Structure formats: C-alpha cells, structure tokens
C-alpha cells in the first residue's frame, strides 16, 4: 500500500531540538527551524494505529512500528519547496543578488591536494578542493527553501533565470505578510521561501492542590509558525495497512498537543524524478546527491555505504559505482526522540538537509539512481531497536549533475 498524506498545521508546532528542558525557573523549550521526519512519521503511525486498531484482533501500536514514511516535503499548492542547497552560494552587493555554484576543482597531473589526514575530517588526497571564492559578500538573508521548478534547473546544472534571482527579495515581504487571518489571500508563488517565524510564549506552572500559580515557575516555549499556505506532504509505504485506507482527521503534532489536519491526497508527481533531471543524468560522469531531509550516517558526515577509498559499495547500488570527490556541509544538527519502551531520549548528530555530496561515476549509468533512489533514504541503519531512521524518512535523496570547476589549484 502506498498512500500520500497532506498535513496542515493549525497551531504553531513545537518541534523540540536536542537541548534539555527541565524544571529550572526561566527554562525555555527551543524548537527547530523545521518539523523533523521522526516527528511526522511517529505522529502518522500513532494516527493510523488509532484509526485501524481493532481490540478483537489485538492490533496494537507496535504493529505500526515498521511502517515506512517518506517526508515531510513542504508544498505550496502543487509546488514543492526543498531545503536551500549548500552548493548554491548566495551573495549580495547592495540590492543586487548573485548566485554562484560551489564546485570542486579537478587537480591536474602535476599537482595534487592534501587534506587534514586520514584520521581527521577529510581523507588526504582522496577529495578534490572546492573552487576558490574571492570578493564575494555573503548575504545574511539567504532563503531557507527553493521551489521545485528552480531546483530542477539547478540539479540539471543550468543557470537560474535572471528574473527569478531578481525576484528573490520578494520572499521576505511575502513572509512578513503571512498571517493566520488571511489564509484565503492569493499570493504569487515565490521562487524562494524565507525561514519560518517562531512563536515565543511564556507560561506558568500551576499548583494542582492549591489551584494557583507556583512560585518561581515561569517558563517559555518556542514554537514553529508554518504559514497557512504551506502544507507538509509525506508518503506511506506499508504491507499491513489496507489499500482502501483514507485519513481525514485532526491530530496532535509535536509537543504540547498542538493540532494539525491530516488528510489523504493524490500523490504528487514530484515523488518521482522529473524527466528533465533523469535525462540530464543519463551518461554523466559527475553527479551530486542533495539531501531533502537530514540524514544519519554511522561515520558522522561520511555515508557508511562508502568504503575506505570513498567508493560506493555494492549494497548501495549494484549497477552504479560512485567515488566521493567533495561535500558541501554545514554544522551537524541534533535530532532526538523519546522511547516509551526504554524511557530514554537519545540524541543523534545528523547531516542537515540541503547538504550536497559530489561524486564521480566510476561505472554504470547514473540515470538508474533517478529511477530507484529519488526521494528514497540513503541514511545508514542505526542501532535503535525501534523503527530506524530509514523508515522515519531521514536522508531522502535528490540527484543532479555537475562539472568540475576550470580554476586550477
């Protein structure tokens, strides 16, 4: 069974990060900038378990632990928005915005590159250095999301349209105009989206016996405000859920029982690789992997399906062999989740969404990756006994092509 779900938050969503939150006076519960895959997948499993559980059949929550959920992907109408790619350098000179592609440089035969070392962050001369960037002022107003139509051009190694780059500042004004009271207002779909705003609220703990506020018990919560035009989409894959299952319910999402509306919708064609990207990958020597959701790798930033020579193993794909050449990565992000069985809240360090890995194709046609590994998980298996990060939707892959920069080292 394959089912597509649309999630429209009705309240600001508390999507906690990994920082502790206790009974300390003045404590603040921080939220992430997006809703994590595990938060959405756990909620969907609980929702389906409540809807489908039958006491006579003894179908309990654990029957839905292995249910595979891919997502979430942000949508504005029919247009998806993906995390801003880390290889897209956003610069600003006055009011003019320019975008430059960060690309590795292929060393010539007479020169090489030595990294930090085999036991540190990078592996010696196995990786290529990035193109040197000079006289570019990075903008502090970099968007958080890029539309699917623009990302398609970027993954096809095409230049973005000048009118789209010129219209880029409009996402900030559109973001400022969002509010819960004007949900029906028609706004042109922008090329980029700004980071979502946060809603900060102050609370006081109540003494249950006295029925009044506790002394020195003020605390605050930080929640994510997802505009009414934006919805989250996920795809469910399961052999245990009946094919005729339909969802139409209001259910809590995240912390503090904040509500969201869940409904079954036709699956978007974006869950399959666009034809333009598939054709651009055919026969390419250099391809790149972009993460649509954060990924867990057992080796930290390095995927476990790469060997010591940074080449892909047969377990990743039997017909396509890749060699890592470079990666554009920001700092790791913490992802945690509470285990009711162990009463633990383990925190894992994950590679953020939008990270880009550059590969050289050693063997095979990379177009096969577009057929079989588009928006599927490339995360490693972890050591949890519950549903793994792959089933939660972490590490969803987008594929594109690139060419080494011509600049010499």
In the listed set 217, 241, 268, which residue is the last one of a domain according to the structure?
Answer: 268
Rounded mean pLDDT, 186-195: 82
Percentage, residues of the chain above pLDDT 70: 83
Q: What is the dihedral of CA 20, 67, 252, 381, to 10 degrees?
A: 20
205 and 263 in a single domain? The answer is yes
Res 90 pLDDT > 90: no
Q: Give per-residue pLDDT as tens, 205-236.
A: 887 788 888 887 788 888 899 988 899 999 99
Res 186 pLDDT > 70: no
396 and 290 in a single domain? The answer is yes
296 and 241 in a single domain? The answer is no
In the listed set 245, 268, 291, which residue is the last one of a domain according to the structure?
Answer: 268
106 and 119 in a single domain? The answer is yes
Does 395 fall in a domain? Answer: yes
Length of the chain: 409
Res 88 pLDDT > 70: yes
Does 125 fall in a domain? Answer: yes
In the listed set 237, 268, 299, which residue is the last one of a domain according to the structure?
Answer: 268
34 and 132 in a single domain? The answer is no
Q: Say which residues have a Cβ less than 8 Å from residue 221's Cβ, sequence separation at least 6.
A: 14, 28, 29, 200, 201, 203, 255, 256
CB 407 within 8 A of CB 132: yes
Does 171 fall in a domain? Answer: no
Res 115 pLDDT > 90: no
Res 183 pLDDT > 70: no
| Tokens 């900060």 sit on residue | 200
343 and 408 in a single domain? The answer is yes
Does 173 fall in a domain? Answer: no
Of 180 and 48, the structure prediction assigns the larger pLDDT to 48
63 and 201 in a single domain? The answer is yes
67 and 132 in a single domain? The answer is no
Q: 137-141, 200-204, 262-266, 332-336: which has the minimum mean pLDDT?
A: 137-141
Res 84 pLDDT > 90: yes
Q: Say which residues have a Cβ less than 8 Å from residue 351's Cβ, sequence separation at least 6.
A: 291, 294, 295, 296, 297, 301, 329, 332, 395
Rounded mean pLDDT, 235-253: 89
101 and 207 in a single domain? The answer is no
Q: What is the pLDDT of residue 259?
A: 95
Q: Please give the residue range of the domain that contains residue 405.
A: 85-142+272-409
60 and 100 in a single domain? The answer is no
Domain CATH code at residue 120: 2.60.40.4350
CB 376 within 8 A of CB 392: no
Does 357 fall in a domain? Answer: yes
Does 147 fall in a domain? Answer: no
Distance, CA of 262 to chain centre:
20
Does 152 fall in a domain? Answer: no
264 and 278 in a single domain? The answer is no
Does 95 fall in a domain? Answer: yes
Q: Give per-residue pLDDT as tens, 312-334.
A: 999 899 899 999 999 999 999 98
249 and 277 in a single domain? The answer is no
* Total domain count, the chain: 2
Q: Give per-residue pLDDT as tens, 155-171.
A: 999 989 988 888 887 77
CB 368 within 8 A of CB 317: yes
């Amino acid at each position: 069974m394959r089912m597509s779900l649309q999630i429209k938050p009705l309240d600001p969503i508390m999507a906690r990060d990994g920082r502790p939150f206790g009974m300390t006076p003045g404590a603040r519960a921080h939220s992430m900038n997006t809703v994590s895959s595990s938060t959405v997948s756990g909620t969907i499993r609980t929702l389906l378990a409540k809807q489908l559980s039958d006491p006579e059949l003894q179908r309990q929550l654990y029957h839905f632990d292995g249910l595979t959920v891919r997502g979430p992907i942000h949508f504005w109408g029919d247009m998806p928005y993906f995390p801003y790619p880390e290889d897209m350098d956003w610069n600003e000179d006055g009011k003019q915005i320019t975008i430059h592609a960060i690309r590795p440089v292929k060393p010539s035969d007479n020169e090489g590159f030595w990294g930090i070392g085999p036991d540190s962050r990078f592996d010696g001369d196995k990786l290529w250095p990035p193109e040197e960037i000079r006289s570019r002022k990075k903008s502090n107003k970099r968007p958080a999301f890029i539309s699917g139509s623009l990302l398609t051009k970027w993954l096809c190694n095409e230049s973005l349209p000048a009118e789209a780059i010129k219209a880029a500042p409009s996402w900030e004004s559109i973001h400022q105009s969002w509010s819960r009271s004007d949900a029906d207002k028609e706004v042109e779909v922008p090329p980029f989206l700004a980071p979502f705003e946060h809603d900060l609220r102050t609370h006081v703990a109540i003494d249950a016996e006295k029925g009044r506020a506790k002394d020195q018990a003020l605390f605050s919560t930080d929640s994510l405000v997802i505009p009414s035009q934006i919805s989250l989409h996920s795809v469910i894959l399961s052999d245990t859920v009946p094919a005729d299952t339909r969802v139409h319910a209001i259910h809590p999402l995240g912390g503090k029982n904040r509500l969201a509306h869940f409904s079954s919708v036709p699956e978007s064609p974006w869950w399959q690789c666009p034809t333009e990207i598939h054709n651009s990958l055919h026969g390419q020597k250099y391809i790149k992997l972009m993460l649509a959701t954060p990924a867990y790798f057992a080796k930290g930033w390095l995927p476990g399906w790469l060997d010591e020579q940074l080449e892909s193993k047969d377990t990743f794909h039997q017909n396509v062999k890749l060699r890592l050449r470079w990666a554009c990565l920001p700092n790791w992000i913490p992802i945690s989740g509470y285990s009711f069985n162990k009463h633990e809240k383990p925190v894992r360090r994950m590679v953020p969404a939008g990270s880009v890995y550059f590969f050289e194709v050693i063997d095979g046609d990379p177009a096969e990756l577009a057929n079989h590994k588009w928006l599927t998980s490339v995360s490693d298996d972890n050591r949890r006994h519950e549903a793994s990060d792959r089933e939660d939707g972490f590490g969803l892959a987008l594929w594109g092509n690139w060419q080494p920069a011509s600049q010499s080292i």
